[in-house]
A and B are shown apart, each in its own frame.
Chain A
Amino acid sequence: MYKIFKKLIFRLEKDADLHIGKLLRRGMLLACGTSIFGGVVYLFQHSGTTVDYSPVSGSEAFGVADSLRSISGIFDGILKFNGASIIQLGVVILIATPILRIVFSSITFIIEKDWLYVAITITVLTIIFLNMMILK
């Protein structure tokens, strides 16, 4: 039993780089596909509209609709088949891909029993998470 377990871990270690490469490619394709689909829907819903992104002074209200600023808002929008929300889901997948890659690396370090690097990767993840919580 132990032998089988050890063999499995060895295989995981050997293929870790390969899996990370695959994760990145799939993440990219998924983000790209989701935003293209959202883009087509968006075009149907907004065709012919004029866009205005000209500079706004720092004191005025600024930015996209509130529903496009949070995960829950984005999913609400998707349920209403809102094109902009579907694109934004693609953006969220895109942002999540490199972060997932760190999670994946930290698992690899756990398998390798490299505790120093388990601590380092978890520190990086904590900083990103706190950043998200504090600065919104």
Chain B
Amino acid sequence: MTLELLLPILFGGGILAGFVGSLTGLGGGVIVIPLLTIVLGFDLRYAIGAALITSIATSSGAAAAYIKERITNIRIGMTLEIATTLGAVLGALIAMYLDKKYIAIVFGCVLIFSAARTVMKKENRRDEIPASRLSKTLKLNGTYPDASGNIVHYNVRNVAGGFSIMTLAGVLSGLLGIGSGAFKVLAMDTVMKIPFKVSTTTSNFMVGVTAAASAVVYLQRGYIDPALAMPLIVGVLSGAYLGARILPKTSVKRLRLLFGIIISLMAILMIYNGITENV
């Protein structure tokens, strides 16, 4: 493939990843890795390096918008970031010794899980729950403004449980080069009972940090190729900007379902390619 053909394909892929990412919450890696490996037939390691870059771009791009609204809980993010960065070190270590066909198979399974979580995502109201002792010590309980501008107070539970799932999310991130946002939201929303809005924005903040921790390693190993990174960075940032602008005006339920199905199909192909050692 010539360079002149590759650039527009990656630029378009980046716009799609940023656009879909900001509308559905699916991270950049979930779209970029299948695009590079299955559609373009590139080596999985280059795809992982490129995906990490996209994850950081999506996360920082969106975080700049969310912070102004004061929804992100920095204390929760920082505390759990200890778990995800430690996990990321572990994941990057495993990646050094694990054959890439197994990485492809694990990636396929994680994709299916992420797709299922995205399709089934719902924004339910919660009753006030009592705060756990650890969350008081760590000052994790907080407030956020709801749609009409009222201040909603929330408490946090099961910090230890959330911390363990976050470690797993970190391992997957270091191993696969994804932000593993779906696991982060699972830990915060389902286990720690943090409100949906706070979980998603805090997860988004954390994705950038975890991906940066893994990216320094992948850069030093030479898995981050400038010709792949450049069009993706520019594409993802423009796509995320577009998505954030039309997000308030669209119903994303069908879009989530559509991409849930597409990504599940990609996942099955990924697992198949892993088994036949074609990655």
Inter-chain CA distance A54–B95, complex, in Å, is: 19
Q: Are A21 and B221 in contact (CB under 8 A)?
A: no
Q: Which interface class (under 10, 10 to 19, 20 to 34, 35 or more) fits A?
A: 35 or more
> How many of chain B's residues have a CB under 8 angstroms from any CB in A?
68
Nearest Cβ distance between residue B102 and chain A, in whole angstroms? 11
Residue of B nearest to A121 (CB): B78
B136, CB-defined interface residue at 8 Å: no
Q: Are B219 and A91 in contact (CB under 8 A)?
A: yes
Contact with B along A68-104 (1 / 0, CB 8 A): 1110000000000001110110111011111101100
Residue of B nearest to A89 (CB): B226
**23 sampled A-B residue pairs with Cβ under 8 A:** A20-B67, A39-B7, A50-B2, A51-B1, A51-B2, A53-B228, A55-B44, A62-B43, A69-B219, A84-B226, A87-B226, A94-B233, A95-B56, A97-B56, A97-B208, A102-B81, A120-B79, A124-B209, A130-B89, A131-B85, A131-B213, A135-B96, A136-B217
Give me the interface of B with A, judged by CB distance under 8 Å.
Answer: 1-4, 6-7, 36, 40-46, 53, 56-57, 59-61, 63-64, 67-68, 70, 74-75, 78-79, 81-82, 85-86, 88-89, 92-93, 96, 99-100, 138-139, 208-209, 211-213, 215-217, 219-231, 233-234, 237, 278-279
Q: Are B42 and A54 in contact (CB under 8 A)?
A: yes
Nearest Cβ distance between residue B219 and chain A, in whole angstroms? 7
Contact with B along A108-136 (1 / 0, CB 8 A): 00000010110011011001101110111
User: What residues on B are CB-neighbors of A92 within 8 Å?
Assistant: 219
The 8 Å CB contact of A128, one of B216, B221, B237, B279, is B216
